[in-house]
């Protein structure tokens, strides 16, 4: 029970962090048809900027400023790079974001070096939030969940209760028609791209010190975020939410499970020794396979439900 | 009010319009006729800035070519696309609200309010909180017609509004067009049904192969059997 609850909490908090990333990715994709390969790089920038700001001004100003800076950067990328390439089609756009991801990674290498940064959880939150049986749940994890839930609520309210939200929703499927009604759709694109990047940046601010801030962090989370967007259904926020939690929880549970075929076969009465045929396969534990589970999930979804859990479009 | 001169338009490398010239006066209903694929929809899209075009399109003495679609809409041009592009996940009322522009600068109170739409099409009032995606084809057509009106255009371009609709709804659409005329809104109509076009238009243009091949009043078109045979009847 204890294991279950703690893993569930950890899984959900990780899942919520994934959602902060995938929500922006999926909005940008469904609106512009651009799969932003650099999305996780903005997450990384969020963490690095937050570190730099927190060194000088502390964590709280960083929590506010870093996402803003990342958001402005994202908006500039849309305005001065993507928009120019847009008329040549989706493939050049894709290549542009691909190149941008490398550019940002090398930039981070040059400025902050190749090793991980000493970006720490603020001292006032460096403690347990509560103790469940014998395990403590860190206060910072609770804070992460709170930020993610507030952000989720904010996105929901903006999209459903404001005029710009309606314009965004309509532009997801019919940008040309929206523009013919007199709405400045190019500007909406820029805002959504910037907003999506700001959310990724925010995820970086709170994820960077919860996990680790290093140049590989973008690549580490980037592929998982794509899995989330595809599994949830391209362009579906609700799908991205469900898929984020699902993958967060599955991965967290799997990592903590030490079972292997050996355990299973032993309980069935077989004798397994290091000499048994294919022993290296039988001794694989679930924990060891945890990193590949999301991709397994991705492949299965693509085969059996190509539009994703809640996607509306085919493929 | 709208002066199109020597309009050429292209989709990629294919040349669709070969020098279209036409005009729509204030308060006029003008129909653009022709068989499928002669460039009627392309003409409207080119005026709206959605297709690459050269030549000249003047609206209220301002050049439109080279402007972005939303800027053209702000100058007072409305466009009802032919494929009934309603926003399926939003409600009927939200669709109508999106028809209004962010700020209609330099304008008196708009000609139309939500209630005017609901009065014209009571069916939309009944369904105001329904998701637009589940409406019938006829209801969706009413919705797109009204949505564009909410932006208070001085000239509205409507592409095939009666296509695939039941006769009863076609009548409603004709009523709507007359109401527009009554309120002084100019209309450029792309229409397949010759009877309607002859009935409500002040003037008509017939297109063939990306050019205007006939211009005249309904009476003149009725009298001109050659044009009807060659360019309209199947």
Higher pLDDT, residue A312 or A11 = A11
Does residue A314 carry a pLDDT above 50? no
Residue B98 is nearest to which of A166, A176, A186, comparing CB atoms?
A166
pLDDT digits (tens, 9 = 90+) for A240-272: 999 999 999 998 888 888 788 778 778 877 777
The two three-digit tokens of residue B23, written as one number: 């005009």
Average pLDDT, chain A: 89
Higher pLDDT, residue A40 or A237 = A40
The pLDDT value recorded for residue A12 is 93
- Region for residue A285 given its phi and psi (left: phi exceeds 0; alpha: psi -120 to 50; beta: otherwise): beta
Work out the average pLDDT over B91-102: 90
Work out the average pLDDT over A13-38: 89
pTM, rounded to two decimals: 0.86
Domain that holds residue A210: 2-257
pLDDT digits (tens, 9 = 90+) for B38-72: 899 999 999 999 999 999 999 998 999 999 999 99
3-state helix, strand, coil in chain A (%, to 5): 75, 5, 20
B60 vs A131: CA distance, rounded Å = 73
Does residue A18 carry a pLDDT above 90? yes
pLDDT-derived band at B106 (thresholds 50, 70, 90) equals: low
- Given the DSSP bridges, would you call strands B155-159 and B77-80 parallel, antiparallel or unpaired? parallel
Looking at the domain assignment, is residue A143 inside a domain?
Answer: yes
CATH code of the domain covering residue B223 = 3.40.50.300
A&B contacts, CB < 8 Å:
60
Using alpha carbons, select from A222, A45, A67 the residue that is nearest to residue A117.
Answer: A45
3-state SS string for A60-102 = HHHHHHHHHHHHHHHHHHHHHHHHHHHCCCHHHHHHHHHHHHH
CA distance between the termini of chain A: 40
The pLDDT value recorded for residue B107 is 59
B97 vs A contacts (CB less than 8 Å): 163, 166
The pLDDT value recorded for residue B41 is 92
pLDDT-derived band at A276 (thresholds 50, 70, 90) equals: confident
The pLDDT value recorded for residue B131 is 93
A182 vs B contacts (CB less than 8 Å): 70, 73-74, 101-102, 151
A167 vs B contacts (CB less than 8 Å): 98
CATH code of the domain covering residue A121 = 1.10.3470
Residue B68 sits at the chain A interface (C-beta within 8 Å): yes
A146 vs A43: CA distance, rounded Å = 18
Looking at the domain assignment, is residue A296 inside a domain?
Answer: no
Using alpha carbons, select from A34, A47, A186 the residue that is nearest to residue A97.
Answer: A34
B180 vs B149: CA distance, rounded Å = 9
Using alpha carbons, select from A279, A280, A284 the residue that is nearest to residue A259.
Answer: A284
Does residue A218 carry a pLDDT above 70? yes
Residue B94 is nearest to which of A166, A183, A185, comparing CB atoms?
A166
The pLDDT value recorded for residue A272 is 76
Work out the average pLDDT over A74-94: 91
Residue B147 sits at the chain A interface (C-beta within 8 Å): yes
Number of domains in chain A: 1
Residue B148 is nearest to which of A181, A185, A186, comparing CB atoms?
A181
Cβ–Cβ < 8 Å for A171, A233: no
- Please report, to the nearest 10 degrees, the dihedral formed by the alpha carbons of residues B208, B211, B215, B220 taken in order: -20
Interface contact A179-B94, CB threshold 8 A: no
Using alpha carbons, select from A59, A212, A40, A57 the residue that is nearest to residue A123.
Answer: A59
Cβ–Cβ < 8 Å for B145, B161: yes
In the three-class reduction of DSSP (H, G, I as helix; E, B as strand; rest coil), residue A222 is classed as helix
The pLDDT value recorded for residue B108 is 63
Does residue A292 carry a pLDDT above 60? yes
Domain that holds residue B219: 2-232
Using alpha carbons, select from A28, A82, A1, A78 the residue that is nearest to residue A199.
Answer: A28
CA distance B85 to chain A (A): 7
Helix (H) or strand (E) holding A141: helix A139-161
Integer CA distances (angstroms), A2 to A133, A135, A185, in order: 6, 8, 50
Looking at the domain assignment, is residue A149 inside a domain?
Answer: yes
- Given the DSSP bridges, would you call strands B203-208 and B186-190 parallel, antiparallel or unpaired? unpaired
10 Å Cβ neighbour count for A174? 19
Continuous H helices in chain B? 40-47, 69-74, 92-99, 114-120, 122-126, 137-149, 167-182, 194-200, 218-223, 225-227
The pLDDT value recorded for residue A315 is 33
Residue A170 is nearest to which of B69, B74, B87, comparing CB atoms?
B87
Interface contact B101-A182, CB threshold 8 A: yes
Place of tokens 């926003």: B87
Does residue B222 carry a pLDDT above 50? yes
The pLDDT value recorded for residue B185 is 92
CB-based contacts of A211: which residues, under 8 Å, 6+ apart?
A217
Does residue B214 carry a pLDDT above 70? yes
The two three-digit tokens of residue B212, written as one number: 């205007």
pLDDT-derived band at B125 (thresholds 50, 70, 90) equals: very high
Does residue B223 carry a pLDDT above 80? yes
Looking at the domain assignment, is residue A272 inside a domain?
Answer: no
Strand partners, A145: none
Interface contact A174-B87, CB threshold 8 A: yes
- Closest chain B residue to the Cα of A172, Cα to Cα: B87
The pLDDT value recorded for residue B104 is 57
Looking at the domain assignment, is residue A300 inside a domain?
Answer: no
The pLDDT value recorded for residue A166 is 92
Which class for A169: exposed (0-12), middle (13-18), buried (19 or more C-beta within 10 A)?
buried
Higher pLDDT, residue A70 or A91 = A70
Longest Cα–Cα distance in chain A: 74
Using alpha carbons, select from A55, B217, B196, B195 the residue that is nearest to residue B206.
Answer: B217
Least confident of A122-131, A138-147, B131-140: A122-131
Looking at the domain assignment, is residue A158 inside a domain?
Answer: yes
- Please report, to the nearest 10 degrees, the dihedral formed by the alpha carbons of residues A158, A162, A167, A168 taken in order: 0
Interface contact B70-A183, CB threshold 8 A: yes
The pLDDT value recorded for residue B207 is 93
Continuous H helices in B35-136? 40-47, 69-74, 92-99, 114-120, 122-126
Does residue B150 carry a pLDDT above 70? yes
Does residue B186 carry a pLDDT above 90? yes
Interface contact A174-B94, CB threshold 8 A: no
Does residue A62 carry a pLDDT above 90? yes
Residue B192 sits at the chain A interface (C-beta within 8 Å): no
Number of domains in chain B: 1
Number of residues assigned to chain B:
234
Looking at the domain assignment, is residue A240 inside a domain?
Answer: yes
The pLDDT value recorded for residue A5 is 87
Specify the DSSP class assigned to residue B231. I
A23 vs A229: CA distance, rounded Å = 8
Residue B102 is nearest to which of A170, A173, A183, comparing CB atoms?
A183
Interface contact A179-B69, CB threshold 8 A: yes
Which class for A115: exposed (0-12), middle (13-18), buried (19 or more C-beta within 10 A)?
exposed
pLDDT-derived band at A135 (thresholds 50, 70, 90) equals: confident
């Amino acid at each position: 029970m204890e294991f279950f609850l703690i893993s569930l909490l950890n899984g959900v908090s990780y899942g919520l962090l994934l959602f902060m990333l995938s929500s922006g990715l999926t909005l940008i994709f469904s609106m512009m048809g651009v799969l932003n390969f650099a999305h996780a790089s903005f997450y990384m920038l969020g963490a690095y900027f937050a570190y730099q700001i927190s060194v000088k001004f502390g964590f709280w100003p960083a929590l506010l400023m870093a996402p803003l800076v990342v958001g402005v950067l994202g908006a500039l990328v849309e305005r001065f790079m993507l928009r120019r390439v847009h008329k040549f089609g989706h493939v050049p756009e894709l290549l542009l974001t691909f190149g941008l991801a490398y550019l940002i990674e090398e930039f981070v290498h040059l400025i902050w070096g190749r090793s991980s940064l000493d970006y720490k959880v603020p001292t006032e939150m460096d403690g347990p939030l509560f103790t469940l049986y014998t395990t403590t749940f860190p206060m910072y994890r609770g804070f992460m969940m709170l930020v993610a839930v507030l952000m989720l609520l904010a996105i929901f309210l903006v999209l459903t209760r404001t005029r710009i939200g309606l314009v965004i929703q309509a532009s997801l499927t019919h940008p040309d028609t929206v523009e013919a009604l007199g709405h400045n759709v190019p500007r909406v694109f820029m805002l959504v791209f910037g907003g999506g990047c700001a959310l990724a940046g925010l995820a970086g601010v709170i994820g960077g010190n919860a996990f680790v801030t290093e140049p590989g962090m973008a690549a580490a989370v980037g592929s998982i975020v794509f899995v989330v967007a595809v599994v949830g259904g391209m362009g579906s926020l609700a799908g991205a939410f469900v898929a984020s939690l699902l993958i967060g929880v599955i991965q967290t549970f799997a990592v903590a499970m030490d079972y292997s075929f050996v355990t299973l076969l032993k309980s069935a009465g077989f004798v397994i020794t290091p000499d048994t045929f294919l022993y290296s396969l039988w001794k694989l534990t679930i924990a060891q396979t945890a990193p590949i589970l999301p991709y397994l999930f991705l492949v299965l979804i693509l085969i059996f439900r190509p539009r994703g859990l809640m996607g509306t479009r085919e493929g | 009010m709208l002066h199109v001169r020597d309009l050429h338009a292209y989709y990629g490398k294919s040349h669709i319009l070969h020098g279209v010239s036409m005009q729509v006066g204030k308060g006029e209903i003008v129909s653009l006729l022709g068989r499928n694929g002669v460039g009627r929809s392309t003409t409207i899209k080119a005026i709206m800035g959605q297709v690459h075009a050269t030549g000249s399109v003047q609206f209220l003495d301002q050049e439109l070519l080279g402007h972005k679609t939303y800027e053209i809409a702000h100058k007072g041009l409305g466009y009802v696309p032919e494929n009934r592009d309603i926003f399926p996940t939003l409600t009927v009322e939200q669709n109508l609200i999106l028809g209004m522009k962010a700020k209609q600068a330099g304008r008196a109170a708009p000609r139309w309010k939500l209630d005017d739409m609901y009065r014209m099409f009571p069916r939309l009032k009944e369904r105001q909180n329904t998701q637009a995606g589940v409406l019938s084809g006829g209801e969706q057509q009413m919705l797109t017609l009204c949505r564009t009106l909410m932006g208070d255009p001085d000239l509205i371009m409507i592409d095939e509004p009666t296509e695939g609709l039941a006769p009863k709804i076609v009548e409603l659409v004709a009523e709507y067009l007359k109401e527009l005329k009554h309120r002084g809104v100019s209309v450029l109509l792309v229409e397949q049904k010759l009877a309607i076009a002859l009935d409500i238009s002040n003037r008509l243009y017939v297109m063939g192969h990306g050019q205007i091949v006939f211009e005249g009043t309904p009476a003149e078109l009725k009298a001109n059997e050659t044009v009807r045979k060659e360019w309209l009847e199947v």
